[in-house]
Structure 1
């Protein structure tokens, strides 16, 4: 599991650690890790042209000390001091002693740089880059140099992943001690490039429960349901799907496609697209209206392609876990969801989330972490917020929000959300808790899209077909 923490938590842990080690030791550890990471990105260090963008805080000190280490290895290192009177004094002295030079013309050194270290602002920065830093940041990004962010790209919000002003886009980010929340959440994640974590001894001083977490292959493998020797289709769980309409029969087919590959033993379909479903999937169990006559299920999926048809309230009135998606989310009553005794999982995209909260879509896309938490609190449900960064939040605010690390932009295609809802519903029926079902479904869905697309256009049915490959991949050590 990859863990991330808030700025407040990181600072408290750093203060506790600094009280136990010699003065300056923490910065030296960070600088050593940063210099080693930069050296690993270069064909060779000797003769490489490195430019440091140095702000006024400890972030600039990390860059200066790392620059000194690279200079001692033969790199030509120049520092651009954006606040000369407030540059880290000891770091600057060490940098000069190692042979580093303070640049008189920042644009001249940036034009020929091989690597630029972004040490302008650290985790305490807010509101984007200051106006005086913007031209330098643009010149760095416009050069042929590789841009490496120190701890996090300058201008992003470390706690929320928001980008409220101009921010520097990095090719790589070297972060210290632990991941910061903003490194894992869009739109800030788009600025980070590849992220490398440097151990500085902070982990023992961090809380055991993080603020944000991301599953990895090992975590997913442990959660995937595996039939026992005595299992039959009913013991493995049965998922019911209420989806589709005369106008959108394909949504029902795609939701059933995801459900059939999600670990449950059987899929019951109820709705007007029965002919399309049974033609494509003869293994599906097709039933007439209402859902209550379909037989026992362990979870329901309702909403994909439903249009204005019935089904949402009928399913919410049951006593099993329910996943509500797409058309099922329109006008969803928070009180009706909160009154349920069984768990509820909501899977909106940004537009649907905006409608549920009564805000603009841009507000959702710019503040995804706050949005998913607000929805979970309002509905007393687990919420999977789809998008470039898929987030999953439970109704208990003490539970870490989960961010999905898999996926591809090719997933922005019609019907992919229907596959995801069927997959997550099947995992619910197989016995996973809503937070786990949503997280594992998002992980497999994103991984399946990668496997199916190979950086080329992919259709929703391709994603569904690739789910077994993703499942096997996740279980491979």
Structure 2
């Protein structure tokens, strides 16, 4: 499991560790890892470290110190290293001395703005050490020209701990920021490295272990890896039958949107439950595509026994069906039209698990805010929704977030691809997650595992080209086998 911790928790762990180490040892650990990563980048972009050109963008404090010490290590290996200081009077004294001893050059970025831009333009590598994890808001005015010059240059950009200008705790971007090709982060991931919009500025992320004592229960975010998803996937035992494996009910589709029902059933059939019951007006379309589905037109209350329900995809204005499903004493997934039609008090009154799966626009409507507010503050938005509705909430997007009403770490998933932004993709996800609910997974696990598999299936279906939602559903078994290693 990949975890991310808040700035406060990281700072506390750093203080605890530094109290046990010789002075400066922790920064040297970080600088060594940063220098090694930079050397690998230089080997790729310049062919070698010796003779390459490196520019350090150095702010005040420890973040700049990490960059300076790493620059000193590169200079000792023959790189031509120039440090551009944004606040010369507050630059890390030890790091400056180390860089000068190694033969590096130092310049005031403000006093030499023209030559600073020229140095960046000629560089093979730019190291962003402007602002550390405690920074708030976008870049300060003096740093913007340097970030712009780095973006225009041919140089690879490596960020120290996180790209300067992004919010480490929330992933928010409130102004100009550095766009990195690689971010070298220390001790643990920070939430902003895993959540959009900040994540897109981080490039590839490399974690350098510096020995921070971080308690697992204090994590802000969790990200499943293959092993975690494999452990949670339901596997039938020798004595299992279709009912013991779980039956998922799908209440979806309408005369206008029969395809939503078909796609939700497609996801459910590949999600691990033993059987799928469909209730709604699209029964003929469902049976024509998936004859193994158990179809009823008598409503959810007369459909037969299920272990979980999915309600809402393509439901139109069928509020009565949504209300019937919410009254059920089994786990319920609410998606699409169901989110609009569901009575908030009925959702909060439920005693069985509830999983809501909005995209940003639907989340904005539920919260009564603009879509841009949700997209800019995804972590805060998913937590607010979960608390307000007393439900687990899966907020769809390029990074999918899953938050429990009980609090605890938010699950984040980034296995997807931009090709998943296609009609019906969310219907497939709903069916898949509902099937996992019926198979016995908790709402948080069902949502996060479904998002993980769905993202992988999208990658397998697309392979760099457009793919439809039906292609994604068809690729779920491949994603399942990939996760389980068979």
TM-score bucket of the superposed structures, by smaller chain: over 0.9
Alignment match of 1:411 (pick from 407, 420, 433): 420
Rounded to whole Å, the distance in 2 between the matches of 1:386 and 1:289 is: 32
Alignment match of 2:104 (pick from 100, 105, 108): 100
Q: Does 1:54 align with 2:58?
A: yes
Rounded to whole Å, the distance in 2 between the matches of 1:295 and 1:207 is: 42
- Name 2:28's counterpart in structure 1: 28
Rounded to whole Å, the distance in 2 between the matches of 1:460 and 1:196 is: 33
- Name 2:374's counterpart in structure 1: 364
SS in 2 for 1:178: coil
- Structure 1 consecutive aligned stretches of length 4 or more whose deviation exceeds 4 Å: none
User: Greater shift after overlay, 336-345 or 59-68?
Assistant: 336-345
Q: Does 1:3 align with 2:3?
A: yes
- Name 1:19's counterpart in structure 2: 19
Rounded to whole Å, the distance in 1 between the matches of 2:191 and 2:432 is: 27
- Name 1:241's counterpart in structure 2: 250
After superposition, what is the alpha-carbon deviation per residue over 1:326-374, rounded to whole angstroms, capped at 9, x for unaligned? 0000043322111111110000000000000100000000000000000
- Name 2:73's counterpart in structure 1: 69
Kindly indicate whether the alpha-carbon contact (under 8 Å) linking 1:13 and 1:206 is maintained by their aligned counterparts in 2: no
Rounded to whole Å, the distance in 2 between the matches of 1:206 and 1:49 is: 40
Alignment of 1:346-361 (within 5 A): 346-361=356-371
Rounded to whole Å, the distance in 1 between the matches of 2:74 and 2:336 is: 53
After superposition, what is the alpha-carbon deviation per residue over 1:369-391, rounded to whole angstroms, capped at 9, x for unaligned? 00000000000000000011100
Q: Does 1:121 align with 2:131?
A: yes
SS in 1 for 2:162: coil
SS in 2 for 1:179: coil
SS in 2 for 1:388: coil
- Name 2:199's counterpart in structure 1: 189
Alignment of 1:141-290 (within 5 A): 141-202=151-212, 204-290=213-299
Give aligned pairs, total.
Answer: 475
Q: Which runs of 5+ in 1 are unaligned?
A: none
Alignment of 1:335-414 (within 5 A): 335-397=345-407, 399-414=408-423
SS in 1 for 2:441: coil
- Name 2:39's counterpart in structure 1: 39
Alignment match of 1:448 (pick from 457, 471, 474): 457
Rounded to whole Å, the distance in 2 between the matches of 1:281 and 1:188 is: 41
- Name 1:327's counterpart in structure 2: 337
Rounded to whole Å, the distance in 2 between the matches of 1:375 and 1:205 is: 28
SS in 2 for 1:13: helix
Q: Does 1:78 align with 2:82?
A: yes
With normalisation by structure 1, the TM-score equals 0.99
Kindly indicate whether the alpha-carbon contact (under 8 Å) linking 2:403 and 2:410 is maintained by their aligned counterparts in 1: yes
SS in 2 for 1:42: helix
After superposition, what is the alpha-carbon deviation per residue over 1:25-67, rounded to whole angstroms, capped at 9, x for unaligned? 1100000000001111222111111110000111000000000
Deviation at residue 405 of structure 1 after TM alignment = 2.4
Cα separation, partners in 2 of 1:440 and 1:325, compared to 1, 3 Å = same
Rounded to whole Å, the distance in 2 between the matches of 1:230 and 1:331 is: 40
Deviation at residue 283 of structure 1 after TM alignment = 0.5
- Name 1:437's counterpart in structure 2: 446
After superposition, what is the alpha-carbon deviation per residue over 1:289-321, rounded to whole angstroms, capped at 9, x for unaligned? 211111100000000000012311000001000
SS in 2 for 1:356: helix
SS in 2 for 1:139: helix
Kindly indicate whether the alpha-carbon contact (under 8 Å) linking 1:334 and 1:378 is maintained by their aligned counterparts in 2: no
SS in 2 for 1:465: helix
Rounded to whole Å, the distance in 2 between the matches of 1:208 and 1:366 is: 27
SS in 1 for 2:135: coil
Deviation at residue 458 of structure 1 after TM alignment = 1.0
Kindly indicate whether the alpha-carbon contact (under 8 Å) linking 2:322 and 2:341 is maintained by their aligned counterparts in 1: no
Kindly indicate whether the alpha-carbon contact (under 8 Å) linking 1:351 and 1:361 is maintained by their aligned counterparts in 2: yes
After superposition, what is the alpha-carbon deviation per residue over 1:108-136, rounded to whole angstroms, capped at 9, x for unaligned? 11011001000000001111000110011
- Name 1:465's counterpart in structure 2: 474
After superposition, what is the alpha-carbon deviation per residue over 1:167-211, rounded to whole angstroms, capped at 9, x for unaligned? 111001000000001000000001000000001011x34444411
Deviation at residue 159 of structure 1 after TM alignment = 0.3
